Chains A and B, each alone.
Chain A
Amino acid sequence: MDFTFTEDQLLFQESVRDFLQNEVTCERIRASWETDSGRDTALWNQLVELGLTGMTVPEEHGGLGMTELDFVLLAQECGYVALPEPLVHTVMVAVPMLNELGGELAAEWLPKIAAGDARVVVGLQQCLLVEDAHIADLLLLQQGNVLVAATADQVFLKHNESIDPSRKLFSVEVQAGAQQIAEGEQAATCVANALNRGALGCAAQALGLAQRMVDLSVQYTSERQQFGKPIGSFQAVKHHMANVAVQLEYARAPTHRAAYAIANGQELAAYAVSHAKIVACEAANLAAKNSHQVHGAMGYTWEMDLHIFMKKAWALANTWGDTGFHKSRIGDRIFAPRAALGAGATFA
């Protein structure tokens, strides 16, 4: 039993954190909102150079051959800066799906992802819309009981604007020429795994988002003065933040366990992911609510950076399986006859 990350994993997290915090500033995010695609090619190329897009690409395809567990701490850091680029989607969802499908498709696209020559996205029915379809060279799409691979010229896209200007969402119509890549049980497994990985990505980012909102609020309430003192010295304000800290503290380990469960193909992965998604997104939603409250009217403005993080938190809570979906999966497990529950059952 060792529930800690390795030195290497922690060092990697630290260096990616430094990079992201230096590069992905709120100004840069706002600038990306003004562009047509909303995407920042220069930033994506930097991520490629750091080897990040190829993290989960096997070494024989030019990647680093790492797992979801290696990436989960980095996904938290992506959340902390509200990274608009689809790094979490690429590393956590698209690449693992290609890994699972294998064959020529994987051999063709994985090296390109690692090298930054192509972008691949996944679209599942559970998600309603497809993230970043407009910049994808290849789309892996669930169509009923089958999976198809469509290149950019084989899809018709309709943009759906999100309250989070960083999120680019599309309804996708597949045109002629798209190729069926999996059916039956294989397709169902791929879809289920992709959904779990996407939900894990949301949970990890939610942890980062919550932490960022706490940090912004601590800073703001230490500076803003009313009644002759910093508002952060008022107990009601403190307790708003302490409540977030408590929830956040207890959302991390479930998220790390979910990453471990996926990386090790554990039977309880689906349950572990749903647990993580619920508690991490709840922590982020509470962070949004309480951070907004302690910012007063400033929190209700476009100008204040807080909303960059709030809106992402709101969106992530209901995508890659909404609360109802994840709670019902938990219910299926714990309300089942003869469920193994209680002390000693957690790691059994």
Chain B
Amino acid sequence: MDLEYTAEQHTFRGEVRSWLAANVPDQPLQTFDTAEGFKQHREWEAILNKGRWGMVTWPESLGGRACDLIEWLIFEEEYYQARAPLRVNQNGIFLLGPTLMEYGTEEQKARILPKMANGEEVWAQAWSEPNAGSDMAAIRSAAKLEGDRYIINGQKTWSTRAVWADWCFGMFRTDPESERHRGLTFILVPLDSPGITVRPIAQLDGLPGFAEIFFDNVEVAIENRLGDEGAGWSVAMATAGFERGLMLRSPARFQETAKRLVELYMANRDSADGDPAVKDAVLRAYLNAESYCLTTYQTACRLNKGGKIGAESSTNKIFWSELDQNMHATAISILGARAELLPHAPAAQGVGNWLDGWLFSQSGPIYAGTNEVQRNIIAERMLGMPR
């Protein structure tokens, strides 16, 4: 065990830091749940990609730096410290990208990955359906192979950023006789295809952060199938693994929130200490963010040495989402009467973006597989309890 960064890792951190210092926009971008904000974030992806900082873990041939997981964690630490923009194409670069590298054909990789990397093509996920939420195996949207194309009919929902995204990926039932996990196929669909209707859905903040997608005889070339026909479930499980795991929610994000929470508490200590539970909640938040960081580093080191990650990755999803929710709940109680105010309200000094974060933190225990479903997985697959 050696818990010091190597000289190379320090150098790498320095490079990331100075590039971000020179390139992160001075003014925060508008939220990507608006047309203008989406465009700004797309441009930011192009800038990142040009500097070869878009996806540092990708191979050099794809504009990456072939970084290992520790360098990835370092990159993220610098990224969040620099308050750089959120990643509008996270579904692409963090989830579909790695899945494509594992299951895609050479042609697919060459066609899709570069445009994903530079933000030219932003991706949405299309798993959920009105009657297939936690029970994803209940998917009914159908794709029928006719010659060299699939004809898709059905409906997806809750598709994040689909309003302005260019493509979506998801699972469709290709065998109409099949049930549950069988007969599903992983297909990539251009969202400008004829027959597609995207209907925005306003989220808690009133903005159209996700959307329904209706498919009415949508034709998709067979080249856009990922993996074999009928093998969708196992491909999708790989994607879901990336989502719960290290890639999407690296510790830096929560450590920065914890740090801001400590600062918020210190700045409002006199009033905050009126509720003796607050100090403890802040302390716990900080420790839990540290625990998340330490555990992630330990896992990353194990994976770097060829280790594998199993059902215990479900603990990860529960831990970060509940940590995030608790941190924001604490911030809200520190802010007191100001907490409900939107940032532009005249009396809203010092509220920062806690309210926004609070709203979003409510969704953490729901998306990427609800925490109840994760607990089922932990009990059955990690602990071996009876079904």
A193–B81 alpha-carbon span in the complex (Å): 34
User: Is A69 part of the contact surface with B, judged by Cβ < 8 Å?
Assistant: yes
- List chain B residues, Cβ under 8 A from A330: 283, 286-287
- List chain B residues, Cβ under 8 A from A256: 1, 298
Q: A221-B385, A233-B385 are in contact. Are A246 and B291 (CB under 8 A)?
A: no
Say whether A243 contacts B258, CB under 8 Å: no
A103–B101 alpha-carbon span in the complex (Å): 62
Q: A69-B1, A341-B286, A344-B252 are in contact. Are A3 and B293 (CB under 8 A)?
A: no
Q: Which residue of B lies closest to A255 (CB)?
A: B294
A221–B385 alpha-carbon span in the complex (Å): 8
- List chain B residues, Cβ under 8 A from A232: 379, 385-386
By Cβ-Cβ distance, the 7 closest A-B pairs, closest first, are: A342-B259, A238-B379, A343-B252, A253-B294, A242-B375, A344-B77, A343-B77
Say whether A342 contacts B256, CB under 8 Å: yes
Say whether B383 contacts A254, CB under 8 Å: no
Say whether A252 contacts B298, CB under 8 Å: yes
Say whether B70 contacts A1, CB under 8 Å: yes
Query: Which residues of B from 1 to 23 have beta carbons under 8 Å from A?
Result: 1-6, 9, 13
User: Closest Cβ of chain B: how far from A74's Cβ, in Å?
Assistant: 15
Could you say which interface size class chain B belongs to? 35 or more
Say whether A342 contacts B70, CB under 8 Å: no
User: Is B305 part of the contact surface with A, judged by Cβ < 8 Å?
Assistant: yes
Say whether A335 contacts B294, CB under 8 Å: no
| A-B contact number at CB 8 A | 167
Say whether A250 contacts B70, CB under 8 Å: no
Say whether B290 contacts A347, CB under 8 Å: no
Binding site for B on A (CB under 8 A): 1-6, 69, 214, 218, 221-222, 229-230, 232-233, 235, 237-239, 241-243, 245-246, 249-254, 256-257, 260-261, 264, 275, 278-279, 327, 330-331, 334-335, 339, 341-347
Q: Is the interface of A mostly helix, strand, loop or mixed?
A: helix
- List chain B residues, Cβ under 8 A from A249: 295, 312, 315, 319
- List chain A residues, Cβ under 8 A from B318: 242, 246
A230–B300 alpha-carbon span in the complex (Å): 37
Say whether A331 contacts B283, CB under 8 Å: yes
* A222 interface neighbour in B3, B312, B386, Cβ under 8 Å: B386
**Which of A3, A5, A232, A279 has most chain B Cβ within 10 Å?**
A3
Say whether B295 contacts A252, CB under 8 Å: yes
A selection of 17 A-B contacts at a CB cut-off of 8 Å is: A2-B1, A3-B3, A4-B298, A4-B302, A222-B384, A239-B372, A241-B383, A242-B374, A242-B383, A250-B292, A275-B287, A278-B287, A279-B291, A335-B266, A341-B259, A344-B74, A346-B255
Q: Which residue of B lies closest to A237 (CB)?
A: B385
A61–B371 alpha-carbon span in the complex (Å): 53
* A344 interface neighbour in B70, B81, B280, B288, Cβ under 8 Å: B81
Say whether A3 contacts B297, CB under 8 Å: yes
User: Closest Cβ of chain B: how far from A272's Cβ, in Å?
Assistant: 9
- List chain B residues, Cβ under 8 A from A218: 383-385
- List chain B residues, Cβ under 8 A from A221: 385-386
User: Is B376 part of the contact surface with A, judged by Cβ < 8 Å?
Assistant: yes
- List chain A residues, Cβ under 8 A from B374: 242
Say whether B301 contacts A254, CB under 8 Å: no
User: Is B24 part of the contact surface with A, judged by Cβ < 8 Å?
Assistant: no
User: Closest Cβ of chain B: how far from A210's Cβ, in Å?
Assistant: 12
Query: Which residues of B from 227 to 264 have beta carbons under 8 Å from A?
Result: 251-253, 255-256, 258-259, 262
User: Closest Cβ of chain A: how far from B259's Cβ, in Å?
Assistant: 3
Q: A239-B375, A250-B295 are in contact. Are A260 and B287 (CB under 8 A)?
A: no
* B3 interface neighbour in A230, A246, A260, A341, Cβ under 8 Å: A260
